[in-house]
Structure 1
């Protein structure tokens, strides 16, 4: 089953969470009405031979990752009233 939550509902849920956890009520700023989602994305770097060709696992054939050279990239996305968050769930019986 897919659940969709609109940006306005996400805003309300976060404000209610902050009120319950910290005991204070807040309001989203009128000057910057959008909420910002910060996420991190892994930028993979693969091991290479001296000639520049990517190394692969000899048994299974997948590319070998160079974990020391791989980095993280931070991305920022605004969440407005017209945006939606959707996710799929599986019903669990007995709870």
Structure 2
């Protein structure tokens, strides 16, 4: 039986969700071992990762207080740069 576009989309979404959860564990461990509280650290996946997965990881870690930026390198491919978010209070916003 041929697969429908909806069924294929659902399979991809489930696969991406599983991948995000797996990578989140890897990144948590990486950050615990590599981040010293200053500057930025760059995490590079060991295999190809879909852009949708990286976007979801950026969203999750951004919500947890990280500034997450894409890093692209011809040799190594795409990675994510993690640093602490720095919030600045604007005098005019406090009025």
TM-score by length of 1: 0.28
The structure that is strand-richer by fraction is 1
Larger radius of gyration, structure 1 or 2?
1
The structure that is helix-richer by fraction is 2
TM-score by length of 2: 0.28
Greater RCO (Cα-Cα under 8 Å, separation 6 or more): 1
